[in-house]
Amino acid sequence: MRRLAKTSASVMLALPLAGCDGSQSALDAHGASAIELKQLIIVIVAVCSVVWMLVMVALIGALWRNRPALRPPASPSAERRMTIATIAAVVATTIIISGFTVMSFIATRALAVAGNHDLTIRVRGLQWWWSVEYLGTSAERFETANEIHIPVGRNVRLKLEGVDVIHSFWVPSLAGKQDLVPGRNNELTIRAERVGIYRGQCAEYCGMQHAHMALLVVADSQDDFDKWAAAQRQAANPPAEEELAAGRQTFLAKPCAACHTIRGTDASGKTGPDLTHVGSRRTIAAGLFETTRGSLAAWIADPQTIKPGNNMPVVPLTPDELRSVSAYMASLK
């Protein structure tokens, strides 16, 4: 019975599944809890589909019977039979929802005892980007933004903090969502079962640019992850070329440094994302563009047209300054 339910559900869900190798989908599950949730979803959807079809059969039966040629003669026992049928249906409903309740309870418990954590990351939600801080000893700590790297097959604990308004951390291919609520400490454990890049997006309406508050979770092998983390811990590369040095100079002289940090320089602003290794991240502006020199230049030249309302002001730059600053940004691997 359960297998039957499962197969019919997979047929039903085949349409959406076929259409997406998209990295942001609850149906494309590659995290421990997302896989568990997907199973639960399939079973519940399958059972509900069957229930709906039975109701439709009863409805169509009622309409069909009513063709004048088929109309049955009124019978005194009809009322009694209908009472019995109704009671049976109510009992069946009760059994099904009790089953769902128990299943949900078991699934919730399974998700809650996720075991030890190999890594703890603080994720802070701000209007409209994610600050990511790897916790540990002071030598191990480092900060980045909008992109979280995790070792595959490991339990990673996310400490979720809402800084301004409520946001919600949701990477559907890995796990269900969890809100970041100012004044509360929420947590979420994720574990990727497969190497890959998983997109996520803020799921709680958080104001003007809620639509553009995405992030990537990059699940790597332990080796790759360690290499990446070691590189991230470093301060920024000192500029090797003249243009890059000029870019850095502009960055430090202009208001940029008031809001952004570049470790290894005097820039230590906290309002915006840490830019120490911005060039190594796949996207800028919380998932808006792929990181290239061009997209960096476009963003710096006019962030308010690209992402209206965001908290980065337009910093007036000459064309030369713009060119060198964006080159410098791109070089921060």
Partner 1 sequence: MTADAAPDTRDADVERTHLTCTLAETWKTPAGFWGALSTVDHKIIGRRYIFTAFVFLALGGVLAALMRIQLAQPEARLLGPDRYNQIFTMHGANMMFLFAVPVMEAMAVYLVPLMVGTRNIAFPRLNAFSYWIYLAGGALLWIAFALDMGPDVGWFAYVPLSGPQYGAGKRADIWAQMITFTELSALAVAVELVVTIFKQRAPGMTLDRIPVFVWAMLVTSFLVIMAMPAIMVASTSLILDRLVGTHLFNPAEGGDVLLWQHLFWFFGHPEVYIIFLPAAGMVSTMIEPFARRPAFGYLALVMALIATGILSFGLWVHHMFVAGLPRLGESFFTASSMTIAIPAGIQVFCWLATLWDGTLVFKTPLLFIIGFIVTFVIGGLTGVMVASVPFDTQVHDTYFVVAHFHYVLVGGAVFPLLGAIHYWFPKLTGRMMSETLGQWSFWLIFIGFNATFFPMHILGLQGMPRRIYTYQPDLAWHGMNLFVSLSAAVLIAGFLLFFVNALRSARYGEPASDNPWDAPTLEWATASPPPSYNFAMIPVVSGAQPLWNVEGALPVAEGLRTDRRELVVTSLAAAEPQTREASPRHSIWPLWAALATTVMLIWSIFSPWAVVWGSIPIAVTLIGWFWPKGTPEDES
Q: Which is nearer to partner 1, 53 or 235 (CB)?
A: 53
- Token pair, residue 228, equals 């990446």
Least CB distance to partner 1 at residue 193 (A): 17
Residues with Cβ within 8 Å of 133's Cβ and at least 6 positions away in sequence, in order, are 121, 122, 123, 124, 141, 142, 143, 144
Least CB distance to partner 1 at residue 308 (A): 6
Report if residue 14 touches partner 1, rule: CB under 8 A. Answer: no
Q: If 0-12 CB within 10 Å is exposed, 13-18 middle and 19+ buried, where does residue 158 land?
A: buried
Amino acid at 93: T
Least CB distance to partner 1 at residue 221 (A): 25
CA atoms within 13 A on the CB side of 186: 19
Least CB distance to partner 1 at residue 176 (A): 2
Among positions 4, 140, 141, 205, the unique one binding partner 1 when judged by CB under 8 A: 205
Q: Taking the mean position of all CA atoms in its chain, how far away is CA 74? A: 59
Q: Which is nearer to partner 1, 84 or 139 (CB)?
A: 84
Dist CA 236 CA 233 (whole Å)? 9
Report if residue 113 touches partner 1, rule: CB under 8 A. Answer: no
Residues of this chain, 314-333, that bind partner 1 according to CB under 8 A:
none
Report if residue 35 touches partner 1, rule: CB under 8 A. Answer: no
Contact footprint for Cu ion (CB under 5 A): 167, 202, 206, 210, 213
Dist CA 260 CA 122 (whole Å)? 18
Dist CA 192 CA 299 (whole Å)? 32
Least CB distance to partner 1 at residue 234 (A): 31
Among positions 108, 222, 268, 292, the unique one binding partner 1 when judged by CB under 8 A: 108
Is residue 314 a contact partner of residue 299, using CB atoms and an 8 Å limit? no
Stretch that binds partner 1, among 1-9, 30-38, 118-126, 251-259 (CB under 8 A): 30-38
Amino acid at 142: F
Q: Is the dihedral of CA 71, 76, 81, 82 positive or negative?
A: positive
Residues of this chain, 288-307, that bind partner 1 according to CB under 8 A:
288
Residues with Cβ within 8 Å of 98's Cβ and at least 6 positions away in sequence, in order, are none
Dist CA 81 CA 76 (whole Å)? 10
Among positions 4, 11, 59, 252, the unique one binding partner 1 when judged by CB under 8 A: 59
Stretch that binds partner 1, among 99-107, 117-125, 255-263, 323-331 (CB under 8 A): 99-107
Residues of this chain, 217-276, that bind partner 1 according to CB under 8 A:
none
Least CB distance to Cu ion at residue 213 (A): 5
- Token pair, residue 304, equals 């308010």
Least CB distance to Cu ion at residue 203 (A): 7
Dist CA 206 CA 249 (whole Å)? 35
Selection from partner 1, Cu ion, none that 277 binds (CB < 5 to 8 A by kind) is none
Selection from partner 1, Cu ion, none that 304 binds (CB < 5 to 8 A by kind) is none
Q: Which is nearer to partner 1, 13 or 245 (CB)?
A: 13
Dist CA 149 CA 224 (whole Å)? 10
Q: Which is nearer to partner 1, 79 or 242 (CB)?
A: 79
